[in-house]
Copies of this chain bind each other. A is one copy, B any other.
Amino acid sequence: MPPLSFILHIHQPKSQAYFQIQLLGTWSTTTMDAISSTIHHHNTAAAVHRPVSNMFPKLLALQPLAIHDSHSKPKKSSRSAVESLSHLLHLRMETPEQKLIVQQSNWNLQFDHEEKHNTPAMSPREDVSDKWREIHGSQDWESLLNPLHPWLRREIVKYGEFAQASYDAFDFDSFSEYCGSCRYRENRLFEKLGISKHGYKVSKYIYAMSQMDVPQWLERSRIAETWSKDSNWMGFVAVSGDEESNRIGRRDVVVAWRGTVAPSEWYEDMQRKLEPIGHGEAKVERGFLSIYTSKCEATRYNKSSASEQVMEEVKRLVEIYKGRGEEVSLTITGHSLGGALALLNAYEAANTIPNLPISVISFGAPRVGNIAFRDELHQIGVKTLRVVLKQDVVPRMPGIVFNESLQKFDDFIGTLEWVYTHVGAELRLDAGSSPYLKRGLNLLGFHMLETYLHVVDGFLSTSSTYRSNARRDVALVNKCCDMLVDELRIPPCWYQMENKGLVCNAHGRWVKTRRDPEDIPSPTRDQEVHVHGIEMRESCERFEPLLSV
């Protein structure tokens, strides 16, 4: 079979930016601010077998056959042909006018006399207890978003860091028998990641599997004997400690859902077909629903589904704290695929637990369901704040292509009822507001959660420049991508283990360290936790002293 091949044209028209993709001989057009390109797709043998919405994200992984830029001379070297598409786009779109207010040198060098590095990487905490309902979205965040209320900004970053924890602690090592699990046990996750400062405590881990073929979703160990062949760690339930609960005016139960990271993964997160959810007209994307609801008696970690695991724990915690007469809220967060799961989770929670304020704070999440799904969520009182970077393409998916070219693909998407739709309030941000970020197009970089958190941290209003007193550490942006301007001297993709976990033993041999037995996942231990629900009140108490840190 001849392979796919692309010719990519990049134009930079005056101000109107547009995006075109030709598939199966048909052009579909959609606007994408700041991006302006024409992607010409040849040889569509493979496309016949695939939904068009699956085709488009493939571009991210494929190498272009040829690059033409109408505004610059063709490069003499053949090198351009071998660069990755995103890297190329990135280079080409770099604008010379890019203004940098960045200090020229010695930025993140450890100079103790530099005040910048002696400032805590966090803004001061304020007591928001009398405003918590508004911050939690009771008024749909009306008049809190532009300008962004500083108290809300702080909460958004907090939830975002919980979602980020689900990436940072994930074991991606395919040579580890624990590949796909969390590297740390529940009670030390936050401490290990340096976010115990938020004053929450993890109460339960959530595992998910998918019975549907959701390609490339599952991280699997290459080793025969592994902790689980079917399941991945998919997030956690946490609850605010006494001190934080006092500050925020209620006991806050948080669910954080892990998303996916690399383009090779997230372009597959998408859309196959919509499937009904609930008892009405609501429909959601089948792949997301499969991850949320799949279970299998033969597995170790998904004898119950992610849905069942999370709902059981949330109900248990809500009962405990309501039983104590406390006010309780549920906040569900997630990035990318995690944001989609957060919505499904909120839908279920709102339909199951009465009189509980439920909010979703999602980052770069794709569309999940149809208009009826959106309307039902609204009706049952789920408040959704979608944080969206205008440079990120994922929130346009599913839909970026086929919303525009509906009539061509109705065998796939059926009728208009199937058009995916976004729900809730949107906090729309522009990565261009940050002087620390490279210009140009970096499809992966603009989707990374750390990039989102950096831009949120500096956002004042759509008419303001980046907040000068933003404190969050800029270096975090480059953990897993290459988004920071060179002047900062932060290496790209720096988040890595020394020697990938190998250590040299006393005999001069490089050996793998075993995981601390404390941190080895155990389905039995987890089961105990929810079997002895009553006892857990005591374990909850035992968490408290740690929360006052």
- Bound together, the chains give a CA A108 to CA B512 distance in angstroms of 6
A475-505, CB < 8 A from B: 475-476, 486, 489-491, 493-505
The answer on a CB contact under 8 Å between A222 and B498 is no
A7: shortest Cβ distance to chain B, in Å? 10
A111-155, CB < 8 A from B: 116-122
A308 part of interface (Cβ distance < 8 Å): no
The answer on a CB contact under 8 Å between B496 and A3 is no
A547: shortest Cβ distance to chain B, in Å? 18
Interface of A is mostly: loop
- Bound together, the chains give a CA A119 to CA B46 distance in angstroms of 54
A39: shortest Cβ distance to chain B, in Å? 15
A105 part of interface (Cβ distance < 8 Å): yes
The answer on a CB contact under 8 Å between A223 and B500 is no
Q: Closest B-chain residue to A216, C-beta based?
A: B79
Number of copies: 2
The answer on a CB contact under 8 Å between B507 and A223 is no
A509 part of interface (Cβ distance < 8 Å): yes
Which residues of B are found within 8 Å of A46, using beta-carbon distances? Answer: 77-78
A511 part of interface (Cβ distance < 8 Å): yes
Q: Mark A1-25, 1 if CB is under 8 A from B, else 0.
A: 1111100000000000000000000
The answer on a CB contact under 8 Å between A63 and B78 is no
Residues of chain A having any CB pair with chain B under 8 Å: 1-5, 46, 49, 58, 61-63, 65-67, 74-78, 80-82, 105, 108-110, 116-122, 173, 175, 194, 222-225, 473, 475-476, 486, 489-491, 493-505, 507-514
Beyond the given A110-B505, A120-B508, please list 20 additional residue pairs across the A-B interface where CB-CB is below 8 A: A4-B81, A5-B65, A46-B77, A105-B224, A108-B511, A110-B503, A117-B505, A117-B507, A121-B509, A122-B508, A175-B486, A194-B508, A473-B509, A473-B510, A490-B512, A494-B499, A494-B502, A495-B499, A496-B499, A496-B500
